[in-house]
Amino acid sequence: MSYETLDGAPHRAAGTPGDDLVVAGVSKRFGGVPALQDVSITIKAGEVHALIGENGAGKSTLGKIIAGVLAPDEGSLTLGGRTLHMSSPRDGLTHGIVTIAQELAIVPGLTVADNVFLGAEIATGGFVRRRELRRRFRELAQRTGFALHPDTPAANLSTADKQKVEIMRALSRQASIVVMDEPSAALSSHETSALHGIIRTLAAGGTAVILISHFLSEVLSLSDTITTLRDGHLVQTVDARGATQESLIEGMLGRSLSATFPEKQFPAADGPVVLEVNNLCAPMVNHCTFSLRRGEILGIAGLVGAGRSELARAIFRDAKVSAGSVRLGGDDLSGHNPRRSIHRGLVMIPESRKELGLMMGRSVRENVSLSRLDLVSRLGWVSRIRERRAVSSLMERTTVKAASMSLPVAMLSGGNQQKLLFARSMMKTPAVLIADEPTRGVDVGSKRAIYDLLVEMAHEGMGIIVISSELEEVLGLAHRVLVMRHGRISAELAGRDISEEAVLEAAFTEISAS
């Protein structure tokens, strides 16, 4: 089957809708540590084939091998009976395979449209045909339902909008196989619904979609076939029609998961206030007032763009505050910056671990000790013995799994990277922890470990603010819930008033501007 490329020239892909992809005996090691061991699966044309497993199970590694990002150490890939030899994503594109990666690959200095058509520019005589590029961009935006302006600088986009650019870029290439690694992780429910429609349309047209997702409800509703990996080994490949969340979790963990959330341990109703926010105003934050007690988990819910993350950054002093005050343990934080907030006992886990949280190329040890080097230093010199001792203890408490604390953070699974942020926040036990999307891109096993850790820290007396796009997460953890809309707190819910219906009503209902 031939098709027209973006520059208008006819092209015949090595793989076309109708060809099956066969992965046979594939193994991959990193530094001698096996990531995949003798994995064999068949991806049929026109099916949605899900890959599931805990972080570190090998899902993303297998997806990268299929897309040409990584080469297998052993085994082979054949598409339509032809053996594939790939050493780069461009080789994957040549064979009609495109990928939407979990770690976003956006060029900040380019516009949205330029990022979408990056590497496949619409050009004549070396000059980009801007009018044609914008026309095709509008067609693609209409097809996906994503409201993005083609001329917006990518640097100005939110994480969710960057994810949309990745999806549009992949769909602009007419592919026989699309690998989607956590495509809906940063999208709202409306945008996720639109994405699901796109996936079904692709499959109906004969394109194979490889879906890597931690959302088991998404996997079950979209997939035809589900492959489970555990510790780099193939556990099972099953028909999605006979699968349940419970059976998938057992396959992923090798055991049943008795409960999603730990039992709530409510703090004393008259416990001391550790954080007071009064009439706080900042970009996308309008006159927010609330307090947080010792040992309390306060959930903040709301739609994408409601101002939840902006409120967190304003409290942490990572955004310019125009009015209002924040008091930590009775002391005013006015004029402080994030570094001073940390030293005063206020720490924050940001919504994007890659862009805002971790130095991916530096070691595990350096990433953990970074926030409080003064605790492992003497006369301005870092004591490696003290540092290793402190980091080792925190890794054990937060259940971070790494072959060595000298290993670059980029080599860890997403779940271990996320838990590493918790380890860093606990270099010196804080009074207040703000956790913005604490389990984004994390598997069910690591999610439970993070939930247990949050409950344990609250039980020890820490005040905790949890911000999450997963409503179930907010309801399952929080003792009290604030709902935001248009930068304001539209409702405060506690006790029996906390429910999905109450949160959604407050999130969608207009509030007075007074």
Q: Which residue has the higher pLDDT, 289 or 415?
A: 289
Tokens of 250: 């057992």
Alpha helices in 254-358 (DSSP H): 308-316, 338-344
For residue 123, pLDDT over 80 is answered with no
The pLDDT of 54-73, averaged and rounded, is 89
Among candidates 204, 259, 272, 232, which has minimal Cα distance to 48? Answer: 204
pLDDT tens, 419-456?
999 999 988 889 999 999 999 878 777 888 899 999 99
pLDDT at 480: 96
Rounded to the nearest integer, the mean pLDDT of the chain is: 86
Whole-model pTM over 0.75? no
Q: Which pLDDT belongs to residue 336? A: 76
The pLDDT, as a whole number, for residue 509 is 67
Which pLDDT tens digit goes with each residue over 451-505?
999 999 999 999 999 999 888 899 999 999 999 998 999 999 998 899 888 888 8
pLDDT of residue 102: 65
Model pLDDT for residues 134-190, shown as the tens digit of each residue: 888 888 888 878 888 988 999 988 777 887 888 888 788 778 899 998 888 767 777
Domains assigned to the chain: 2-251 (3.40.50.300), 267-345+431-442+463-514 (3.40.50.300), 352-429 (no CATH)
- Residue 130 tokens, joined: 């801007």
Q: To 10 degrees, what angle do helices 384-397 and 414-425 make?
A: 120
For residues 452 and 258, is the Cβ–Cβ distance under 8 A? no
Whether residue 103 is predicted with pLDDT greater than 70 in this model: the reply is no
- The count of other CB atoms within 10 Å of the CB of residue 170 is 20
pLDDT band at 283 (very low <50, low <70, confident <90, very high): very high
pLDDT at 13: 41
In the predicted model, is pLDDT for residue 409 greater than 80?
Answer: yes
Indicate if the alpha-carbon torsion angle 438, 440, 441, 446 is positive or negative.
positive
**DSSP assignment of 366-419:** HHHHGGGGGGGEETTEE-HHHHHHHHHHHHHHTT---S-TTSBGGGS-HHHHHH
* C-alpha distance from residue 276 to each of 107, 272, 506 (Å): 39, 11, 23
Which residues lie closer than 8 Å to 62 by C-beta, 6 or more apart?
23, 26, 36, 39, 51, 229
Which residue in the block uniquely carries the two structure tokens 């001391």? 272
Higher pLDDT, 240 or 382: 240
Amino acid in position 325:
S
For the chain, give the percent of residues with pLDDT over 90.
40
User: With 90 as the cut, is the pLDDT of residue 252 above it?
Assistant: no
Reply yes or no on whether the pLDDT at 386 is more than 80: yes
